[in-house]
Each structure stands twice: as C-alpha cells, then as structure tokens.
C-alpha cells in the first residue's frame, strides 16, 4: 500500500512553472530515487512532500489520508518524516548534542536520549566522536551526523536531497552503504533525489525521471535504463545510440529495421512501415577483430573512428554504415589494440535493441 501519494501537483515560482502535473506513489518500506538534471525540480518536489511548501495545485496523501494545507494535522504528519538537505546543516555544538537535539525538543527522557544517541552513532560509524565539535568535521562526517540526527527520531519517511553531492568517493561509498543498511534493517520509506544515475540504480527499487518539471517515466532500473519511453528519457539515461529507422518486416516478433540502408534485427511487435528509434546501450555491443559465430542476430564490419579512455573504460566510436558508440573495458581495448582506423566486427543481440516509437513532426 502507498505510504505517500501525490496527485496532480503543479507548482510555480512567480510565473515560472517548476512542477507540472506530478502524479506519484511510494509504497511503505520502498526506496524511490528521483533522478534528473540540476534545475529539473527535484528539490522543490521533496520540499512539497516534506510539507515545507504548499503546492499551487494538487493533493498529497499520507497513509491514505489527504493532508490539509494548514493546521495541526499537517504538523503531526511532518513529525513522522525527516528531510536531509544537500548541504547538511550542523550546529556549533558537539556531535552528541547535534544528534540529541531533536529528541530533546520532543521531550524524551535524558537516559533514553543517551541510549538512542549512542546506538545511532555506532550505526553511522561515528562512535568516539561524541565530544567533537560538529563544525570541525569533514563533509562526509557532517553528512553522517545529519543522517544520525534524522534516524534517531525513527521517521517513517526519510527524504534525501543529493545525499552525496560534493563528497569524495570514500565518503560517498560510506553514505550509500548506510542508506542501503537503513532501508533493509529499518524498513524506512526513502525518497532520494539525485543526479547520479548509478546511485539511483544501486539503491532504489523504483526510479522516477524528472525533466523540466515533468515526471516523464517511472519504473525499475531495467525499465528506465534499457526501455526508455521516449527520446528525451533515452538521451538523459545515456542511451547514446539512438538510431532513426523504419520497420520493413516482422517475423513472429523479430523485426527487421532499416537504418539508412542497413538492416538490424530487434525484438518488437511493431508492424512493417512503422517509423521508430532503435536504441542500443553502448555496453551491450561487443567488439572483435574477426567475425565469430554467436547467437547475436546483429554483426557488422566496422571501422573505428575514435577511442577515448575514461578511467577503467574506453569509449569507442565506430562506423558500420551508421555511427555507433561502444563501451569496453580499458584492458579489452588494449588487448585488441583498438585505435582509430582499425577494422573490427561489432555484434549485439536482438534483445539488446530497444524499439521506441518515433513521433513524426508535421
């Protein structure tokens, strides 16, 4: 059952529409990642869900009940949620006092506060930091203090706005492990805004793509990253190979697609004559120096036009009658001696081709 549901949310700042007709539900105990570029409206949507702002239009439901736009009930529901901001705010106090402050404001007994704070500091890996001034901590440590301060209140819903923004890789990994642990062990419902798509895939059971204030697609990681619903989503999630084509035949669900005079095979129920996009993720294409027998339905002789090394990976652009971008490990690129001008064979499966309806402009 949905714990939080938003229906028809539209919001403006002056004349600028920042959210447009947002509909979303998050089940109890789930982790939902809201992905989108900077300025897409992610923070505004989180603030509305945390009841910090009242939307211009639309309703918010918590545990099946519509939240009023003002009054005591709204405050009571807010106490069941906690919001961790992109830049964590810590008080000029000890770590212990930072974490304990919410419990004190709620009138908890002193001995219970001590037990809860000690437990939560151990959970976030800050035991022994109790007497440190929170303002002297690193960015990653301050973020863990902010998490501890929220978690010690045992919220039903935890909202996180870019929880690892501007953190180093080690601190990022610690925060991600902590979020994953809390989701598993505490069954806390989490809604996380991030522009880090790999983080969304790793931590969330469901993902929503927010672009220009519109929630354009929701689904699991496979839905979002391998089966985007339109060209806008496909570009955002890194589907670099988006090829215009037309289906010329379909034999029991295996379509033949004409891409500029070249034929590729794809799994699709679209009929012949349908104008489409054929989308292939760069990591789903295999390169070899010679033609080999395989189950892949698509194999093309190609010439490498560019190789760019990206840390442990290599981005290889090839021309096989149409342009493709391929992602391989740096080790594979070195072993195959991939370089501009070299002839290679590119193969990919029919199941690796996502067919997407193409809107024809008038």
Spacing of C-alpha 1 from chain mean position: 22
Q: What's the token pair of residue 77?
A: 């529901």
Share of the chain above pLDDT 70, in %: 99
Spatial CB neighbours of 94, under 8 Å, sequence gap ≥ 6: 130, 131, 132, 133, 134
Residue 245 has what pLDDT?
94
What does the angle CA 329 – CA 334 – CA 340 come to, to the nearest 5 degrees? 100
pLDDT for 246-288, tens place per residue?
Answer: 999 999 899 999 999 999 999 999 999 999 999 999 999 999 9
Give me the numbers of helices (H) and strands (E) for the chain, helices first please.
10, 20
User: Average of pLDDT values for 207-221?
Assistant: 95
Q: What's the token pair of residue 286?
A: 């295999």
Looking at the chain, how many residues does it have?
Answer: 362
Measuring CA to CA, which residue among 190, 194, 226 is closest to residue 209?
194
Q: What's the token pair of residue 291?
A: 């033609």
Q: What's the token pair of residue 134?
A: 């929170």
Q: What's the token pair of residue 72?
A: 């005591």
pLDDT for 55-103, tens place per residue?
Answer: 999 999 999 999 998 888 898 999 999 999 888 888 999 999 999 998 9
Measuring CA to CA, which residue among 185, 357, 152, 350 is closest to residue 266?
350
Measuring CA to CA, which residue among 279, 301, 281 is closest to residue 291?
301
How many CA atoms within 13 Å lie on the side-chain side of 204?
Answer: 30
């Amino acid at each position: 059952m949905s714990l939080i549901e938003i229906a028809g949310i539209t919001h403006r700042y002056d004349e600028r529409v920042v959210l447009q007709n947002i509909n979303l539900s998050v089940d109890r105990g789930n982790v939902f990642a809201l992905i989108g570029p900077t300025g897409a409206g992610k923070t505004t949507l989180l603030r509305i869900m945390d009841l910090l702002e009242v939307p211009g239009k639309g309703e918010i439901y918590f545990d099946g009940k519509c939240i009023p736009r003002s009054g005591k009930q709204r405050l009571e529901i807010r106490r069941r949620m906690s919001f961790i901001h992109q830049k964590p705010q810590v008080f000029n106090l000890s770590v212990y006092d930072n974490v304990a402050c919410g419990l004190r404001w709620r009138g908890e007994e002193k001995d219970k506060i001590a037990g809860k704070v000690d437990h939560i500091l151990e959970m976030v890996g800050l035991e022994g930091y109790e007497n440190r001034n929170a303002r002297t901590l690193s960015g990653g440590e301050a973020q863990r203090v902010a998490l501890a301060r929220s978690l010690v209140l045992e919220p039903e819903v935890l909202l996180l706005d870019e929880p690892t923004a501007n953190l180093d890789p080690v601190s990022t990994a610690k925060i991600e492990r902590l979020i994953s642990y809390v989701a598993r062990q505490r069954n806390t419902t989490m809604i996380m805004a991030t522009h880090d798509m790999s983080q969304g895939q790793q931590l969330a059971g469901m993902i929503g793509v927010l672009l220009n204030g519109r929630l354009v697609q929701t689904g699991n990681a496979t839905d979002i990253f391998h089966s985007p619903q339109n060209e806008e989503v496909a570009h955002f999630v890194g589907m670099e190979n988006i090829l215009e084509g037309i289906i010329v035949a379909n034999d029991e669900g295996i379509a033949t697609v004409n891409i500029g005079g070249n034929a590729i095979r794809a799994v699709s129920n679209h009929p012949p004559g349908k104008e489409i996009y054929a989308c292939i993720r760069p990591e789903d294409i295999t390169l070899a120096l010679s033609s080999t027998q395989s189950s892949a339905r698509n194999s093309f002789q190609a010439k490498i036009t560019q190789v760019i090394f990206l840390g442990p990976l290599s981005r290889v652009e090839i021309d096989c009658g149409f342009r493709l971008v391929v992602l391989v490990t740096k080790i594979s690129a070195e072993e195959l001696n991939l370089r501009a001008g070299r002839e290679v064979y590119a193969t990919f499966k029919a199941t690796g081709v996502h067919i997407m309806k193409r809107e024809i402009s008038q």
